[in-house]
Amino acid sequence: MNMPNYGTSAGFGRQSAALFDEGLRQHMLRVYNYMAIGLVLTGVVAFTVASVPALYVPIFSSPLKWVVMLAPLAFVLFFSFRIQSMSASAAQTMFWAFCAVMGLSLASVFLVFTGTSIARTFFITATMFGAMSLYGYTTKTDLTKFSSFLIMGLIGVIIAALVNLFLQSSALQFAISVIGIFVFLGLTAWDTQSIKEQYAENFDSESRQKMAVFGALSLYLNFVNIFQLLLNFTGERE
């Protein structure tokens, strides 16, 4: 009579779990690397444009500034609708192009705020973002139950920000900044958990690559928005 080899089964299970964990770590590392490189690209483009009058004067002294300001939103919408039909290389190229366009949009930050306050705000943002992303990765709480609240908050912040482009209300801007920071911090935790849970070891490399790019885009947007909103409190104007 053959007895079940429980030791072998348990060993195989532990090995499979270890392989899955290693794959997940590599996937998350790829996501964060894409995001970090995207932030560097955005910063380089923004600083370069802000340092060259021949570049920023034609942009920010004409209606072209509206195109530059709204172009990132168009990129995100296009990305969201086409990500499934894109190849992994096309998605990655689109992501770098988006980060560069965002750099054009953020060039005004270097024209308005001092370099010291920008650096300080960046490190504060990195600390807050890192803490919430770590929470999202490690928590056992299902954060999807907060998704409706976060999405409604995001829509409200976007609408209020668009309205305030014309009203130029300092009180409304203060409210947008406070609410927006909490919304994007919540989205950071939720997106991190979603990226972790969507990973599957049996996905092919093409699918994993696209997942990594789209995950990086989500986290990148949260980081950039937290940074911009925090500047309203910590930024010192030139």
- Domain assignment present for 220: yes
Which of 97, 103, 102, 95 has its CA nearest to residue 49?
103
The answer, yes or no, to whether residue 183 has pLDDT greater than 90, is: yes
Q: What letters, b where the CB count within 10 A reaches 16 and e where it falls short, cover 155-183? A: eebeebbeebeeeeeeeebeebbebbbeb
d(Cα 165, Cα 163) in Å, to the nearest integer? Answer: 5
pLDDT at 8: 53
pLDDT at 10: 56
More confident residue, 205 or 9: 205
The answer to pTM > 0.75 is: yes
Average pLDDT over residues 160-167: 87
d(Cα 108, Cα 238) in Å, to the nearest integer? Answer: 12
- Domain assignment present for 12: yes
Average pLDDT over residues 94-117: 91
Reported as a pLDDT band with limits 50, 70 and 90, residue 100 is: very high
The answer, yes or no, to whether residue 136 has pLDDT greater than 60, is: yes
* Cross-strand pairs, 113: 237
Residue whose token pair is 């890192």: 130
Reported as a pLDDT band with limits 50, 70 and 90, residue 1 is: very low
pLDDT at 41: 96
d(Cα 133, Cα 6) in Å, to the nearest integer? Answer: 38
With 0-12 / 13-18 / 19 or more C-beta atoms within 10 angstroms meaning exposed / middle / buried, residue 204 is exposed
- Domain assignment present for 103: yes
- Domain assignment present for 201: yes
**Total domain count for the chain?**
1
pLDDT at 21: 79
pLDDT tens, position by position, 11-29: 545 666 777 778 889 999 9
- Domain assignment present for 1: no
**Average pLDDT along the chain:** 86
State the residue range of the domain holding 137.
6-234
Q: Which residues contact 187 (CB under 8 A, 6 or more apart)?
A: 150, 154, 218, 222
More confident residue, 202 or 225: 225
pLDDT above 70 coverage of the chain, percent? 92
pLDDT at 232: 87
More confident residue, 56 or 142: 142
- Domain assignment present for 151: yes
